[in-house]
Amino acid sequence: MQRTFLLAKIHNCTLTAANLDYIGSISIDRTLMDAAGILPFEQVQVVNKANGERLITYAIPAPANSGAIELNGAAARLGMKGDTLIIMTYAQFTAEELKEHSPTVVLVDENNRIVTVNHYGQLLEEAVN
């Protein structure tokens, strides 16, 4: 059996733009994607803390160290510049794979600069043992 768990999260990032006429997705500063382990075109869930909207789309890299977090296409209607977002990825794991899994959580400041990168393998290890 496989179960779905958090793979990575960028927590409390700030939406820097909403581009309705851009081809759909969410653009994320490449530095943040790399820190979280999010790959280009990987499926992400986006939660907008300002309005409660949730959406699933895919990530595309914005220039590294730009601080850019941009909702594109139809998703642009679900947020406004300045909104606080949480961006998450999930993966499916077998019981054996789960023993080695450590979710990554990237915490950022108001300019979308990395404050800290946390790994939560210990919490998961305690839960599965």
- At 34 the three-state DSSP class reads helix
Question: Is position 120 annotated as part of the catalytic site?
Answer: no
Nearest to 87 by CA among 124, 115, 60: 60
Tell me which of 22, 58, 90, 120 is the catalytic residue: 58
Residue in the structure block whose two tokens are 């998961």: 124
State which amino acid sits at residue 57: T
Q: Is 115 left (phi over 0), alpha (psi -120 to 50) or beta?
A: alpha
Distance CA 112, CA 95 (A): 34
Question: Is position 58 annotated as part of the catalytic site?
Answer: yes
- How would DSSP label each residue in 51-76? T--EEEEEEEEEPTTS--EEEEGGGG
Which residues are catalytic, by number?
25, 58
